[in-house]
Amino acid sequence: MSAPSRSLRAVTAAAVVAVALLAAACGGGASAGESSALPRTPTALPTFDPGSFQRLLTSLRGTPVVVNVWASWCGPCTKEAPDLADAAKRYAGRVQFVGIDVSDQPVPARAFIERYGWVYPSVFDPSGAIRNDLGFLGQPDTVFYDRSGKQVKVVSGPLDRATLDEQITRILAS
């Protein structure tokens, strides 16, 4: 093989490796443990595990956060969904809402998000591992974090609008 052929082959191989590394670093979907970035759209529903979810929470420090554990098949979740949608819109830019969709299927979960007009992202927790890691047995559950990432309040069961607004006011003030 001639020197130019070897050189061209080496350059091509290096380019292929570089493109593969770049694609891996900029990949769109997040599977379990792969990324801790906020999903790009409310219906993206990337699969997260407890570790990647904790990294996501850490990345949100500096912003008050409301985490809601839900499922499309959960009756109490449908009760609180309109209030969560409204609050997320009213507090946009001041509070980050994040959903954790547990033990669900992506198609009905996306339909639920669209039906209630949620504008905030959710992550997919197919086995309930994140929910369990947070110490919950069922859903809905909502956790309020202040700017420092400190857990301020946990509400188990469906939220009412008054409690939601009261706790958001509390995390905004801290």
| Structure-token pair, residue 50 | 């407890």
Looking at residue 137, what DSSP letter applies?
Answer: S
Q: What is the pLDDT of residues 66-124, one digit of tens each?
A: 999 999 999 999 999 999 999 999 999 999 999 999 999 999 999 999 999 999 999 99
Distance CA 80, CA 63 (A): 23
Residue 27: DSSP 8-state: -
Per DSSP, helices labelled H in the chain are 3-25, 50-59, 75-90, 106-116, 129-133, 161-173
Residues whose CB falls within 8 Å of the CB of residue 86, separated by 6 or more in sequence, listed in order: 161
Confidence of residue 37 (pLDDT cuts 50, 70, 90): confident
Per-residue model confidence as pLDDT tens digits over 11-23? 333 333 333 332 3
Let me know: does 139 contact 70? Beta carbons within 8 Å: yes
Task: With CA atoms as reference, report the closest residue to 106 among 131, 71, 134, 130.
Answer: 71
Distance CA 75, CA 63 (A): 30
Q: Which of 48, 22, 44, 23 is nearest to 35 (CA)?
A: 48
What pLDDT shows up at residue 36? 67
What Rg value do the Cα atoms of the chain yield, rounded? 20
Please state the φ and ψ torsions of residue 79, each to the nearest 5 degrees. Answer: -65, -40
The Cα–Cα gap between 109 and 116 comes to 11
